[in-house]
Amino acid sequence: MVFSPGSDEIYKESLALHALHKGKLEIHSKVSLKTRQDLSRAYTPGVAEVCRVIAKDRNLAYKYTLKANTIAIVTDGSAVLGLGNIGGYAAIPVMEGKAILFKEFAGVDAFPICFENYETDFVDQIKNIAPVFGGINLEDIAAPKCFEVEDALQDIGIPVMHDDQHGTAVVVLAALLNACKVTGKKYKDLNIVICGAGAAGFAITRLLKCIGYDPRVCTRVNEIIVCDTQGTIFREREGLYKNKYKFIIGEETNRPALAGSLSDAMIGADVFIGVSAPNIVTEDMIASMNKKAIVFAMANPVPEIWPDRATHAGAMVVGTGRSDFPNQINNVLAFPGIFRGALDARATRITDEMKIAAAHAIADYVPHPRSDRILPSILDKNVTKNVAAAVKKAAISCGCSRDIE
């Protein structure tokens, strides 16, 4: 059954599901505790020896504890879904949902860590919980704080990734690679308009334009123009210096310095990527794009333009964030495999090489893309396996993995 955005039925069913199970997540023991011998080995006195060897070499935590297969899903509740700053308590159901996705698709044990007082030193709090985890997935943290937190956590010895940024960017890159095969457009010649300059928009822009990426592993598109609620972003725009991240966009994109609206920016574009708001793109705007246009309208649940309208206006390949239309662009294609590969490599961080390897693994999983199938199904667990293998290989190749027993 497909539920329309205005339907209350799915919300009622979700409330009933969560009430019935008291959430979606629980902990199971891996060992038996039926005898005194069981207890002595799993807890005191036997566990003291495990503590002693880890105290001598903390890397042995990967061998003797849950660290090797466990990540924290960390949020401050400041940007949850489209609900905004609803706080740590209200964020729990979403983080639980992310945890079961990790388990279902990648066999990764993940646990929600939801902070309520988001004005405290968030970075130090995360550092202090890091010892038990093999990686940290930052989730639903508002921009620009999400950029600052992720940057500050890159040297703590385990991979840290803000999925709303990089998971989304990886899947967009994969979708774009295959859309080019369908349309016959050359990736390096693409002129792209991105609507939305928050976490996802910033990360997509950086990846597609190779801003901060090693040029030996990253291929640039020709041009990107990014739009926010004030119109196009360009270097000379008044007040741009007040936002460090939009200033970076202004410095690195929109070389013609086009000033104007989203509608102005889309004239002659090859690709539209929306991570913004519902129903802000018209058929006339799609019609003003180049022939065989590629449209990724990813606002959820209501996209920037509905697929049928985009196709009617001339778009050749259309994707959304929804599961009830072809070409669902969803970061569940990326994050389980990225973290699975990072854990398998015992990586110290998630690098450019690992993210780009993930994108190519997703794209290559569809050997003969069509206009209505540029990405694999998000329910196909073999995608995760392919992504994990590619990410592990890239981690080892770039020298950010530990020795694996």
Mean pLDDT of 99-124: 88
pLDDT in the model for residue 143: 85
The answer to whether residue 4 scores a pLDDT higher than 50 is: no
Domains of the chain: residue spans and CATH: 9-30+65-158 (3.40.50.10380), 163-405 (3.40.50.720)
Compare 305 and 79 and report the one with higher pLDDT: 305
pLDDT bucket at 74, cuts 50 / 70 / 90: very high
pLDDT of 6 > 60? The answer is: no
Per-residue pLDDT at 404 exceeds 80: no
Once rounded to an integer, what is the mean pLDDT over residues 75-89? Answer: 88
Can you give the pLDDT at residue 200?
A: 93
| 92-108 average pLDDT score | 95
Question: Active-site positions?
Answer: 43, 98
Q: Is the pLDDT of residue 119 over 90?
A: no
pLDDT category at 161 given cuts 50, 70, 90 is: very high
Average pLDDT of the segment spanning 241-245: 86
- For the chain, give the percent of residues with pLDDT over 90: 83
Report the pLDDT averaged over residues 47-53.
95
Judge whether residue 366 has pLDDT over 70: yes
- Output the average pLDDT for the chain: 93
Q: What is the pLDDT of residues 299-312, one digit of tens each?
A: 988 999 999 999 99
Instruction: State the average pLDDT over residues 78-97.
Output: 90
CA atoms within 13 A on the CB side of 355: 30
pLDDT confidence of 371, banded at 50, 70, 90?
very high
Q: What is the mean pLDDT of residues 195-223?
A: 94
